[in-house]
Amino acid sequence: MSTKSETPRRPSARTISNDMTAIWAGGVLTAYLVITGIILAVGASRLDASALPLHGALLSVVVACTWWKRVPAWLRNWMPVVAIPILYVEAPNVIAAAGHLAMRDPEILRIELALFGGNPAADFARTWPSRILSELLHACYLSYYAIVISMPLLLQYSRRGRDYSRAVFALLLTFTTCFMIYAVYPVEGPRYRGGADAPDGPICAATLWLLENGSSRGTAFPSSHVAVAVAQSIVAIYFFGARGAWLALLTLGLALGAVYGGFHYAIDAVAGAVLGTVTAAFALYVSADRAPTQANATEPT
């Protein structure tokens, strides 16, 4: 069977791939940076003087890596993935530039009460105070960082170039959709409002340390952890079949850990799961190769 449809065709380093899917992730990232750049420019008086120039520099790099013909294929492919943590760190600047005077946690808590009859982020660990359960769910929550990179690495290792591009497109679409929602509807999350009384342990402590030093305020709803993990699970099952189901199981543990540890409200996790399902399904659908296939007797099989 021919593998021509699986890898972007790059006749030379001077020619952009004929498979447009190879640059869709960069295109989504460019659109996001243009929109947030406008927000940052309008609200520049609320930010540090370096925020807008740094954003402009990132946009320039993304545009060059996506559309400049001389950029090596590996750099064009991996640039969107490398940019993800920068977007996360920048999210509070976008929220501040948008002029939000208060977070929306009170509204979220009212929804929690209406849907669940309480606050699962505060009640889950108190109801099930098990150190083993706590360590297991915190480990699942920490697995998020491996989940983010899992599909790009596996598809790159398998030399499935076109599938890699589709997976990264789904990943970037999920992330940028979450970040745009944060700019419109910022929520701190329960961690900034007392958190949960989860039993302590080394994995729990490592998770709390990581969040204390690397989390961005206002990025709780929807949970990008859950959204991305769900999207990656769908991508894994789509490309690897039953072998990808392990990622879905890990994602379930991650979602439970997000609430058990008091990192997200339950509605954050639910909204993240819905969003991740929609963005992954949409990305895989629109990037599918629908060109009619015809047998070619001269082509090796």
pLDDT tens per residue, range 199-235: 999 999 999 999 888 888 899 999 999 999 999 999 9
Q: What is the mean pLDDT of the chain?
A: 88
pLDDT value of residue 69: 84
CB–CB of 65/10 below 8 Å?
no
Residues 6+ positions from 82 with CB-CB distance below 8 Å: none
pLDDT tens per residue, range 13-33: 333 344 567 789 999 999 999
Token reading at 219 = 């990025």
pLDDT tens per residue, range 96-117: 999 998 999 999 999 999 999 9
Token reading at 230 = 């769900």
187 strand-pairing partners: 219
CB–CB of 166/279 below 8 Å?
no
Residue ranges of the chain with per-residue pLDDT less than 70: 1-20, 195, 290-301
